[in-house]
Structure 1
Amino acid sequence: MHFFLKIGLSLIRMKNLSLLFAAFIFIVFCTVTIYLIEPDTFESLLTSFYFVMTTFSTVGYGDYSPVTGAGRLFTVLMYLLGIGLLGVVIGKIVDSFSIFRKRKEEGKLAYTNENHIIIVGWGKKTETAVEEVLSSDSFSEVVIIDTLPTSPIDVAINRVHYVQGDASEEETFTRANIKKAKSVIIFADDTIQVPSLRDAKTLTTAITVERLASHVHTTVEIMTKKQIPNFSHVKVDEFILSQETTSLLAVRSAMHQNVSTIVTQLISRSRGEDLFEAKVDPKWQTYGDAFHDLLASGATLIADRQQMDINRRLHEDIPSDAVLYVICNEDTHRKLITKSINHL
């Protein structure tokens, strides 16, 4: 008994790779040996392998069994050693899954996919943003960066990954695979009460993003408009003035009823008509060509990047770097995508 206990403890202390290699060697040894001892009983190595595995797993169907004394004695020794070895291997595999899930919950695993959206900072705004991404696109994945001890979102949601760490450190963004990300959203830290300090932390994070992946589209939330010049040396693609945007929307809603409802509908994919990007068709020469062609498809052209005066520039040629935006429903947008692919 002491002998088998000693062997069991030695197996448990073995490294996973060494244990798997030892199990493989032992199974091959048993398969070949029992076949050589009783070649008439076990017609092939495949049959002897089948017998060895059913014996190790204690299934024991009984369709194959040794008939000689040597074969039975070897089977007993094989069983005593094999069942312990297989049990340890299975235990190690179960432990590996548990460790993997624990590390994923703690945000210790690196993200390896591409074209994902990185969101810095957890809060109610992040939660809403994640829900919007998941509902808007059935393929996009989100990586959340924060210092929380465990993931704020259930790790069973495969399209959301959590990375724990300081957003001002390179190692954190490296684990988030920032160089292959599609975009980065940096929300202001709600735990900091002073607006200027919140913007200072956001600026530090933006500098880190710029240094590691300047090609990635970056959207930053800032608290006060006067802080924008401080971001002048950082390549931030878009700013969101949190307080000012809310105030302006509230005023417009008070002056013109339902304005806030319309704006919310346009920026959310939850219902009705939405705002989409439309690929430029090579056959379009002017904005007028694009406007009338899109209108016939059920979409309304409203802007080229930040320029929303398309209706007064229909006679102008579309520039090569144009980024057109339309208002339409999801079905129309899918048809436009299919149409643009067919024209390629």
Structure 2
Amino acid sequence: MQQLIHGFLRWPLVIRILIMALAVMSTCGVMIHYLEPDTFPSFFDGIWWAVITTSTVGYGDFVPKTAEGKTLGILLILVGAGFLSTYFVMLATETVTTQNGYMEGKTAYKGKGHVIIIGWNERTREIIHQLTSLQSSCDVILIDDSLQKNPYRNNHVHFVKGSPFKDAILQKANLSEAKIALVTSDQNKDEMTSDMNTILSLLAIKGNQPSLHTVVEVLQKDQVENAKRAGADEVIQTNMQTSLVMMNSIISQGMSRTILKLLNHLKGNNLKLISVMDEHAGATFQSLSAQLLKERVILLGIKKGENTLVNPPMDVVVETTDELLVISN
């Protein structure tokens, strides 16, 4: 009995109040049936009267006639109505607290197959926009320590406030069930500090979930190798990529707009790597290019291990372990 009481006390307060209110109404409903069997011919009629009386609706279809019945009705109103009112107040409070916790990044995410993005900046904003536009059912978990509330009202964007290198924060993001994690650089800090925080977050992610595919953004060239040593599956060196785009614009004016259009998936131009199908293995780059062109797929190059050959010799043979660099809609 004592264990049962202790177990009951560990339940959420709103559940305990609801159970006590139901118990009071049921007890009074049974008692009124015994006190006035002619007025309340069944247990259900008694319980119905108790519920209506407690909720202060008062239909008047069942009314106690005796002094004992009226006294029970007074006790029911004083006790039962208090329990029921408290329940609805607690329920409303719980709802508001849950909603505020969701907006303020205090609520844990319970889904799976989601994308985790660490750091809030303009790059993150654009990535989330593209993801939610291309894959409306894809959930994005945004982890950031500087935001005060979720910048999105979209149900598919869940905000977790906190430092990404803390295990408790990663657990709130349900890291073990995630599909991929992206760590962006904090450009409010100097490049060295930003890259150190990025690698620290990467170590925390890989320490908790070594098999998770991770993409990290680094600013300094010297930190690329450190990111790879920490387990990054892909390293994006922002400064180098930006410099290359600028250089192309110097050499060929207007190239920056062309590159952005090529990389913008919302425009229908998908630059991507695809696996080599069995029927394509052993074909030359020239023959495979002609074959894919009939399917409106442009073959740009071949990725062999860590090396990517863009516009390789026409007689290069495609193997099953290769990946194809293509443009496809």
Q: Does structure 2 retain, via aligned residues, the 8 Å contact 1:183–1:216?
A: yes
Q: What pairs up with 1:112-127 in 2 under 5 angstroms?
A: 112-127=110-125
TM-score, normalising length: structure 2: 0.82
Q: Using the TM superposition, give the Cα deviation of residue 294 of structure 1 relative to its aligned residue in structure 2, in angstroms.
A: 4.9
Q: Does structure 1 retain, via aligned residues, the 8 Å contact 2:26–2:50?
A: no
Q: Using the TM superposition, give the Cα deviation of residue 322 of structure 1 relative to its aligned residue in structure 2, in angstroms.
A: 4.7
**Aligned AA (2:125):** E
Cα RMSD after superposing both structures = 3.0
Per mean C-alpha deviation after superposition, the further-off stretch among 23-32 and 274-283 is: 274-283
Q: Using the TM superposition, give the Cα deviation of residue 40 of structure 1 relative to its aligned residue in structure 2, in angstroms.
A: 4.8
Residue of structure 1 in register with 2:81 after alignment? 83
Q: Does structure 2 retain, via aligned residues, the 8 Å contact 1:287–1:313?
A: no
Q: Using the TM superposition, give the Cα deviation of residue 47 of structure 1 relative to its aligned residue in structure 2, in angstroms.
A: 4.2
Residue of structure 1 in register with 2:270 after alignment? 274
Residue of structure 1 in register with 2:247 after alignment? 251
Q: Using the TM superposition, give the Cα deviation of residue 109 of structure 1 relative to its aligned residue in structure 2, in angstroms.
A: 1.9
TM-score, normalising length: structure 1: 0.79
Q: Using the TM superposition, give the Cα deviation of residue 221 of structure 1 relative to its aligned residue in structure 2, in angstroms.
A: 0.9
Q: Using the TM superposition, give the Cα deviation of residue 86 of structure 1 relative to its aligned residue in structure 2, in angstroms.
A: 0.7
**Aligned AA (1:189):** D
- Distance between the aligned counterparts of 2:124 and 2:151, measured in 1? 11
> Counterpart of 2:229 in 1: which secondary structure?
coil
Q: Does structure 2 retain, via aligned residues, the 8 Å contact 1:287–1:310?
A: no
Per mean C-alpha deviation after superposition, the further-off stretch among 34-43 and 82-91 is: 34-43
Residue of structure 2 in register with 1:151 after alignment? 149
**Aligned AA (1:255):** I
Residue of structure 2 in register with 1:209 after alignment? 205
Q: Does structure 2 retain, via aligned residues, the 8 Å contact 1:265–1:274?
A: no
- Distance between the aligned counterparts of 1:279 and 1:83, measured in 2? 67
> Per the alignment, do residues 263 and 270 of structure 1 end up closer, same or farther by CA in structure 2, a change over 3 Å counting?
same
Q: Using the TM superposition, give the Cα deviation of residue 108 of structure 1 relative to its aligned residue in structure 2, in angstroms.
A: 1.9
Q: Using the TM superposition, give the Cα deviation of residue 219 of structure 1 relative to its aligned residue in structure 2, in angstroms.
A: 1.0
> Per the alignment, do residues 42 and 311 of structure 1 end up closer, same or farther by CA in structure 2, a change over 3 Å counting?
farther
> Per the alignment, do residues 75 and 192 of structure 1 end up closer, same or farther by CA in structure 2, a change over 3 Å counting?
same
Q: Aligned pair 1:199/2:200, yes or no?
A: no
Q: Deviations over 1:91-140 (max 9, x none)?
A: 01111112112222332222211111111111222222221211121111
Residue of structure 1 in register with 2:258 after alignment? 262
Residue of structure 1 in register with 2:171 after alignment? 174
> Counterpart of 2:56 in 1: which secondary structure?
coil
> Per the alignment, do residues 20 and 280 of structure 1 end up closer, same or farther by CA in structure 2, a change over 3 Å counting?
farther
Residue of structure 1 in register with 2:128 after alignment? 130
Q: Does structure 2 retain, via aligned residues, the 8 Å contact 1:286–1:315?
A: no
**Aligned AA (1:179):** S
> Per the alignment, do residues 42 and 184 of structure 1 end up closer, same or farther by CA in structure 2, a change over 3 Å counting?
same
What percent identity do the matched residue pairs reach? 26
- Distance between the aligned counterparts of 2:310 and 2:94, measured in 1? 59
Aligned counterpart in structure 1 of residue 52 of structure 2, from 54, 67, 72: 54
Q: Using the TM superposition, give the Cα deviation of residue 216 of structure 1 relative to its aligned residue in structure 2, in angstroms.
A: 1.0
> Counterpart of 2:201 in 1: which secondary structure?
helix
Residue of structure 2 in register with 1:316 after alignment? 317
> Counterpart of 2:265 in 1: which secondary structure?
coil
**Aligned AA (1:130):** I
> Counterpart of 1:307 in 2: which secondary structure?
strand
Residue of structure 2 in register with 1:299 after alignment? 297
Q: Using the TM superposition, give the Cα deviation of residue 279 of structure 1 relative to its aligned residue in structure 2, in angstroms.
A: 6.2
Q: Using the TM superposition, give the Cα deviation of residue 88 of structure 1 relative to its aligned residue in structure 2, in angstroms.
A: 0.4
Q: Unaligned regions of 5+ residues in structure 1, if any? A: 1-13, 330-344
Q: Does structure 1 retain, via aligned residues, the 8 Å contact 2:215–2:234?
A: yes
Residue of structure 1 in register with 2:327 after alignment? 327
> Counterpart of 1:168 in 2: which secondary structure?
coil
> Counterpart of 1:104 in 2: which secondary structure?
helix
Per mean C-alpha deviation after superposition, the further-off stretch among 289-298 and 165-174 is: 289-298
Residue of structure 2 in register with 1:190 after alignment? 187
> Per the alignment, do residues 261 and 42 of structure 1 end up closer, same or farther by CA in structure 2, a change over 3 Å counting?
farther
Q: Using the TM superposition, give the Cα deviation of residue 215 of structure 1 relative to its aligned residue in structure 2, in angstroms.
A: 0.9
Q: Using the TM superposition, give the Cα deviation of residue 42 of structure 1 relative to its aligned residue in structure 2, in angstroms.
A: 4.4
Residue of structure 2 in register with 1:100 after alignment? 98
- Distance between the aligned counterparts of 2:206 and 2:178, measured in 1? 13
> Counterpart of 2:158 in 1: which secondary structure?
strand
> Per the alignment, do residues 230 and 46 of structure 1 end up closer, same or farther by CA in structure 2, a change over 3 Å counting?
same
**Aligned AA (1:134):** T
Q: Using the TM superposition, give the Cα deviation of residue 275 of structure 1 relative to its aligned residue in structure 2, in angstroms.
A: 3.0
- Distance between the aligned counterparts of 2:34 and 2:282, measured in 1? 83
**Aligned AA (1:327):** I
